């Protein structure tokens, strides 16, 4: 789908909620200021692409947003609540950098995908059959159901990336955070991956925050110029009102359709 | 063969079988989190505790446990201070433990403490009290792992992901430290402080070769450890060998065998 094709009537009714707000946030490593007085917000169904050279603070910012790092100054809110008091982590899908896991780890694809469900609310309860079925749906949506019983380390980089995406999608998240999802993946697989991401952005109720090195794709989808800069960080944004609709979409239902609708686009086959 | 029917041998077998469940289980979590050396370190430190126990005449294994707990917290703290050199903290605390143990044992020379029974184990001298401690530790470990199996899996697989899912990572790290300290101080009398680490890590090393899923891995570590414990105790009893050493050598033999078999299949 080319840009502009979907510029029908613009109705932003349900798309004005704040998903992430960053207010006056600063962070430094050993006196080296990386992020300085950053202000920005992500609205529902926005797609934010974050670009910057090594050490620009991309991952630092992501880690602050998901609560793994505390900002030295300023305030970050998720869905209108300060990160430190935020409890609904099921609403956030996080795909960390690929090198953060050990390829020798003895776990199957199914076990990894299912672990996306293991949050605070499930601390003392068992995983029910209905919940386990979500893992099958998520794997199906990512076309990795045939790999379910394989050990994660035996998969190719592109396949592993889709396992992590399935793990992040299993909770039907409203916000998907991706940290350099295509590093170490060949060009063809990368293209399929971006295709899938774009499809999910346009047809599902998901807000995206993605760190990437892929300038070409970011520019082609999010626009030529960054809407904001902070130090060496550049923010590229496709706002939700540029999309054709803003309806609530139930991803649990549409996880099943996701694969179908993508299969129709022949380019997404690995 | 009549040694197998003796009471001290049966007590040894029960103790060995129980430790054969818990040690490789906790060891697996340590190995997967790249903390294999922690077992060794805690064991060396708890030896210092055992020595102190003899010196002040308090239940030695209990004091050893307190020392192991303190050491595991110290490691966790140091691990944060030297983030990228986590093993540095382990080396420091391990040598500190040995130094302290040697000091305390020398001070307590008059008490005629049998040092080597704690360094190399003395499974045949297990008393009812020891067995009770081992049984309680086994129950605690099994219940904790059963209740939090999912969380321990995610924490071991990706600590950041666990935190982003909203899991209380700190609480689970403390839990793993405490369980490990418990298991180690309970195993010292069985395989000895110098060999505890083998029972924690070698079964995990074996299962990494053969198991595909995490569930399989857990079953495999326990089966391998139990095989080694049973066969090792019987062989040691019949041929009058050192039990701890025999168990560990059997584990290493199994590891080599598995590596060879795997190679054979690959070619």
pLDDT at A250 over 60: no
> Is residue A109 within 8 Å of A144, Cβ to Cβ?
yes
User: Which pair of tokens denotes residue B13?
Assistant: 């077998």
pLDDT digits (tens, 9 = 90+) for B54-110: 888 888 888 999 999 999 888 878 777 776 776 788 888 889 999 998 888 888 766
pLDDT digits (tens, 9 = 90+) for B165-182: 989 998 998 899 899 999
B191 in Cβ contact with B198 (< 8 Å) = yes
Burial category of B255 from C-beta neighbours within 10 Å (exposed 0-12, middle 13-18, buried 19 and up): middle
Helix (H) or strand (E) segment spanning residue A34: strand A32-43
Mean pLDDT for the stretch of residues A203-221? 88
A96 CB within 8 Å of a chain B CB: yes
What pLDDT sits at residue A11?
Answer: 43
Residue A253 confidence (pLDDT): 56
**Higher per-residue pLDDT: A189 or A139:** A139
Q: If pLDDT is split at 50, 70 and 90, which confidence band does A270 have?
A: very low
Burial class (CB in 10 A: 0-12, 13-18, 19+), A238: buried
Q: What is the pLDDT of residues B185-224, one digit of tens each?
A: 888 888 888 888 999 999 999 999 998 899 999 999 999 9
CA distance B66 to B50: 10
Cα–Cα distances in angstroms (integers) from residue A2 to residues A45, A48, A195, A198, A221, in the given order: 19, 19, 12, 11, 9
Per residue, what are the HEC states of B8-26? Answer: HHHHHHHHHHHHHHHHHHH
A chain contacts of residue B217, beta-carbon cutoff 8 Å: 106
User: Using alpha carbons only, how large is chain A's radius of gyration in Å?
Assistant: 18
Say what the pLDDT of residue A248 is: 52
> Poorest-confidence range of A243-252, B10-19, B248-257?
A243-252
Instruction: Provide the pLDDT for residue B110.
Output: 60
pLDDT at A256 > cutoff 80:
no
DSSP A88-131: -GGGEEEE--GGGS-TT---BHHHHHHGGG-SGGGTTSPPPHHH
CB contact under 8 Å between A101 and B158, yes or no, is yes
Chain A, chain B: beta-carbon pairs less than 8 Å apart: 84
Share of chain A above pLDDT 70, in %: 84
Reply yes or no on whether the pLDDT at B155 is more than 60. Answer: yes
Q: Residue B32: pLDDT above 50?
A: yes
ipTM of the prediction: 0.85
B213/A151 touch (CB, cutoff 8 Å), yes or no: yes
Chain B: give the shortest CA distance to residue A178, in Å. Answer: 12
Q: Is residue A254 over pLDDT 70?
A: no
Indicate whether B232 pLDDT > 70.
yes
CB contact under 8 A, A106 and B150: no
**pLDDT value, residue B120:** 81
Residues of A in contact with B158 (CB under 8 A): 96, 100-101
* Higher-scoring residue by pLDDT: A27, A14: A27
Helices and strands in chain A: count of H runs, count of E runs: 7, 10
The answer, for A4 touching chain B at a CB cutoff of 8 Å, is no
Q: How confident is the model at residue A235 (pLDDT cuts 50, 70, 90)?
A: very high
User: Are the C-beta atoms of residues A180 and A52 closer than 8 Å to each other?
Assistant: no
Å between B214 CA and nearest CA of chain A: 5
> pLDDT, tens digit, for every residue of A168-205?
999 888 899 999 888 877 888 888 888 888 888 887 88
Nearest to B67 by CA among B99, B37, B35: B99
Output the six-digit token pair for A245. 């609709």
Q: Which of A68, A107, A168, A171 should we substitute to test contact with B (largest number of B Cβ atoms within 10 Å)?
A: A107
Contact B206, B224 (CB under 8 A): yes
Mean pLDDT of all residues belonging to chain B: 88
User: What is the arithmetic mean of pLDDT over B17-43?
Assistant: 91
Note the pLDDT of residue A8.
41
Query: Which residue, among A97, A132, A63, A181, has the nearest Cα to B164 in the 3D structure?
Result: A63
Q: Does A85 touch chain B (CB under 8 A)?
A: no
Question: Rounded to 5 degrees, what angle do the CA atoms B7, B13, B19 make?
Answer: 140
Which of A92, A94, A106 lies closest to B214 in CB terms?
A106
What residues of chain B lie within 8 A of the CB of A122, using their CB? 150
> What single DSSP character describes residue A253?
H
Which of B164, B207, B212, B266 to mutate to probe the A interface, most A CBs <10 Å?
Answer: B164
Q: Helix H segments across B33-158?
A: 37-56, 60-81, 86-107, 115-119, 128-147, 149-157
- Report which of residues A21 and A251 the model is more confident about: A21
Residues B172, B175, B177, B183: is their CA dihedral positive or negative? Answer: negative
Report the C-alpha gap between B236 and B124 in whole angstroms: 11
Distance from the A72 Cα atom to the nearest Cα atom in chain B, whole angstroms: 18
| B44-54: average pLDDT | 89
pLDDT band at A149 (very low <50, low <70, confident <90, very high): very high
- Mean pLDDT for A214-227 is 88
Rg (CA), chain B: 18
Closest by CA to B66, choosing from B50, B82, B83, is: B50
Number of neighbours of residue B128 by Cβ within 10 angstroms: 8
Dihedral of the CA atoms A186, A138, A194, A196 (nearest 10)? 130
Is the pLDDT at A104 greater than 90? The verdict is no
Percent of chain B with pLDDT over 90: 49
Does the distance separating the beta carbons of B147 and A106 come in below 8 Å?
A: no
Structure tokens belonging to residue A153: 């380390």
What residues of B are in contact with residue A120 (Cβ under 8 Å)? 165-168
Contact A123 B167 (CB under 8 A): yes
Q: What is the pLDDT of residues A40-64, one digit of tens each?
A: 999 888 999 999 888 788 889 999 9
To test the contact with chain A by mutation, choose from B80, B144, B166 the residue with the greatest count of A C-beta atoms within 10 A, namely B166
Q: B219: part of which helix (H) or strand (E)?
A: helix B214-239
Q: Which residues pair with B140 in a beta bridge?
A: none
Taking residues A75-80, report their average pLDDT.
93
Specify the pLDDT at position A247: 54
Lowest mean pLDDT among A75-89, A121-135, B10-24, B131-145: A121-135
Q: In this complex, do A115 and B153 lie within 8 Å of one another by their Cβ atoms?
A: yes
Contact list in A for residue B147 (CB cut-off 8 A) is: 124
Q: Calculate the average pLDDT of chain A.
A: 82
Region A207-220 average pLDDT: 90
> What is the pLDDT, as a whole number, of residue A268?
44
């Amino acid at each position: 789908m080319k840009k502009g094709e979907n510029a029908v009537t613009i109705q932003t009714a349900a798309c004005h909620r704040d998903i992430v707000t960053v207010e006056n946030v600063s962070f430094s490593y050993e006196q080296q200021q990386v992020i300085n007085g950053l202000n920005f917000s992500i609205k529902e169904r926005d797609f934010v692409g974050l670009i910057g050279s090594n050490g620009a603070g991309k991952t630092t910012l992501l880690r602050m947003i998901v609560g793994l790092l505390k900002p030295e100054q300023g305030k970050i809110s998720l869905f209108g609540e300060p990160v430190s008091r935020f409890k609904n982590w099921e609403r956030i899908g996080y795909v960390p950098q690929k090198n953060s896991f050990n390829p020798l780890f003895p776990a199957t694809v199914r076990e990894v995908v299912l672990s996306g469900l293991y949050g605070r609310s499930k601390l003392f309860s068992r995983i029910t059959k209905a919940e386990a079925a979500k893992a099958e749906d998520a794997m199906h949506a990512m076309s990795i159901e045939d790999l379910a019983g394989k050990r994660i380390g035996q998969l190719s980089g592109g396949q592993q990336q889709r396992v992590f995406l399935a793990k992040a999608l299993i909770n039907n998240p409203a916000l998907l955070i991706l940290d350099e999802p295509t590093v170490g993946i060949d060009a063809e697989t990368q293209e399929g991956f971006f295709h899938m991401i774009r499809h999910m952005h346009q047809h599902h109720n998901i807000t995206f925050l993605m760190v990437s090195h892929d300038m070409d794709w970011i520019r082609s989808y999010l626009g030529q110029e960054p809407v904001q800069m902070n130090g060496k960080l550049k923010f590229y944004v496709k706002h939700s009102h540029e999309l054709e609709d803003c309806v609530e979409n139930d991803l649990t239902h549409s996880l099943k359709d996701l694969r179908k609708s993508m299969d129709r686009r022949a380019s997404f086959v690995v | 063969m009549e040694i197998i029917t003796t009471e001290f041998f049966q007590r040894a077998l029960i103790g060995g079988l129980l430790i054969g469940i818990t040690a490789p289980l906790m060891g697996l979590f340590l190995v997967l989190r790249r903390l294999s050396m922690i077992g060794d370190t805690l064991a060396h430190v708890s030896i210092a505790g055992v020595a102190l126990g003899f010196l002040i005449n308090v239940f030695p294994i209990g004091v050893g446990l307190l020392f192991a707990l303190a050491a595991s917290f110290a490691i966790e703290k140091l691990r944060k201070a030297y983030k990228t050199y986590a093993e540095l903290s382990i080396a420091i605390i391990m040598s500190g433990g040995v130094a302290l143990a040697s000091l305390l044992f020398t001070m307590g020379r008059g008490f005629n403490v049998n040092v080597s029974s704690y360094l190399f184990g003395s499974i045949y001298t297990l008393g009812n009290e020891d067995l009770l401690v081992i049984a309680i530790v086994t129950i605690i470990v099994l219940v904790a792992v059963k209740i939090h199996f999912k969380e321990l899996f995610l924490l071991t697989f990706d600590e950041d992901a666990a935190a982003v899912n909203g899991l209380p990572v700190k609480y689970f790290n403390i839990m793993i430290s405490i369980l490990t300290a418990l298991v180690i101080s309970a195993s010292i009398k069985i395989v000895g402080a110098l060999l505890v680490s083998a029972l924690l890590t070698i079964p995990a090393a074996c299962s990494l070769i053969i198991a595909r899923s995490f569930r399989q891995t857990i079953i495999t570590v326990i089966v391998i450890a139990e095989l080694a414990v049973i066969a090792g105790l019987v062989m040691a009893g019949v041929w009058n060998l050192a039990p701890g050493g025999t168990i560990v050598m059997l584990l290493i033999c199994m590891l080599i065998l598995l590596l060879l078999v795997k190679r054979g299949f690959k070619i």
